[in-house]
Amino acid sequence: MHDVNVAIETAEKFGRFFCKFLALNDVGLNPRSHQEGIYIPKKAAPLFFDEEGQKGENKDRLINIFLEEGYPPIEARAIWYGRETRREYRITRFWAYSPFDKAEQLGNLFVMVRASEDDYYVFILNREDDIETFLNTFSISLTQNNAVFGVDEDRETQLERRINSYASEFTEFPPTIQVALKSREFYRGSLNDPDKTLVKWIETEYKIFNALEKAIYREELTTPFHDVDKLITFANTVLNRRKSRAGKSLEHHIDYILKQFNIPFDHPGKTEGNKKPDFIFPSNEDYANIMFDEKKLTFLGAKTTCKDRWRQILNEANRIPVKHLLTLQQGISKNQLEEMKAEKVQLVVPRELHGNYPLENRNDLLDFKTFIQQMKEKYGVC
């Protein structure tokens, strides 16, 4: 698969690109859709067309897509569908001439960079570390799909102004729990819809963190580095902070929501060999008590992405055969889902992300609201 460093260098060099997590429609796995090709968000249309597509007309143009060295260029088509009920942009012919098994690309990050009027570079990233490195480099949240760069947009909303005002007060990073609290203040949400609320809190917190970076690193961002080693050290510090923050952020919000429903749990958990799974229900003390009914124990892991890392939870609680794993992963291939199922991993995915998973596997997913209801019933919470 593609080299993330080449993808970053290419995106930075040309400055105009969009990226998205490949969904069912993009890879031709939605049996309810007859749409073909990779969906282009409307805000990315200026990367392909000089004028906006109009209702009642179709228009298209041929483009050259370049993969990494060693692959021949692909003549693909960028098209606007405006007739009948369709109103969308797509890239067609890509899968037919690319070396990729499109069914295995579900949930991978698709990056398309405009190099010239007719020439584009495409990168598909499938490793979690690579995906996170790319997104963190350009300050893109894991929950933000269809991100566009190099296209003018009016992004100055009331929320962003409040966030920027808040961030300007800091000279060093506040604790992650404090940022989590602030995100819940900026976006109130509703516990009647914990799935949507969780995703919105994560998105809002990422915006806050991004504003904090700009405020706190103002001097580093405006003063030239005269030492390459210092520059590399600074860049690594920024990227590592971004990665560690994302996981803590998700745990903080799960913790808060579970407490609002009075569900008993310990966070972090504690099991064999001083292992520390994310959440143990009803408590670490009950887990340590060999007389406690194992059927009453529950494990919940929390990982923003889990295409590779889901195996990390398998040996974190030997007394609990079925491991629940809450993730924000935007799609996983059928083969990977079947492998998780065989290892008794039960995915918990916010409802709005279920559409990114293969249709035949969606019944195996739990949404967060259903998981909460199951925990309330299991532990007798009214």
Q: Would you state the pLDDT for residue 157? A: 54
Please provide the DSSP assignment of 52-102 as one string: ---TT--EEEEEEEE-STTS--EEEEEEEE-STT--EEEEESHHHHSSS-G
Top mean-pLDDT range of 160-174, 244-258, 336-350: 336-350
Q: Would you state the pLDDT for residue 222? A: 76
Q: Would you state the pLDDT for residue 154? A: 44
Q: Would you state the pLDDT for residue 241? A: 79
Express the helix, strand and coil content of the chain in percent, nearest 5 each: 45, 15, 40
Q: Would you state the pLDDT for residue 155? A: 41
* C-alpha to C-alpha distance for 328 and 350, rounded to whole angstroms: 7
Within the chain, how many helices (H) and strands (E) appear?
11, 12
User: From start to end of the chain, where are the E strands?
Assistant: 17-21, 38-40, 59-66, 74-81, 88-92, 109-114, 119-125, 147-149, 279-281, 298-303, 323-327, 345-348
Q: Would you state the pLDDT for residue 217? A: 86
The per-residue pLDDT for range 56-69, each reduced to its tens digit, is 889 999 999 999 87
* C-alpha to C-alpha distance for 221 and 226, rounded to whole angstroms: 13
The per-residue pLDDT for range 122-152, each reduced to its tens digit, is 999 999 999 999 998 888 887 878 888 887 6
The per-residue pLDDT for range 151-190, each reduced to its tens digit, is 765 444 568 878 988 999 899 999 999 999 999 988 888 8
Q: Can you give the pTM of this predicted structure?
A: 0.73
Cβ-based burial of 114 (10 A; exposed 0-12, middle 13-18, buried ≥19) = buried
**In which band, very low, low, confident or very high, does the pLDDT at 382 lie, cut at 50, 70 and 90?**
confident
Mapped to the 3 state alphabet, what secondary structure does 175-235 carry?
CHHHHHHHHHHHCCCCCCCHHHHHHHHHHHHHHHHHHHHHHHCHHHHHCCCCCHHHHHHHH
The per-residue pLDDT for range 273-318, each reduced to its tens digit, is 889 999 999 999 999 999 999 999 999 999 999 988 999 999 999 9
* C-alpha dihedral sign at 227, 246, 354, 312: positive
Domains of the chain: 4-149 (2.40.330.10), 158-260 (3.40.91.80), 272-378 (3.40.91.80)
The per-residue pLDDT for range 95-111, each reduced to its tens digit, is 999 999 998 999 999 99
Task: Match 């998973």 to its residue by tokens.
Answer: 357
Which residue, 344, 314, 309, 343, is CA-closest to 329? 309
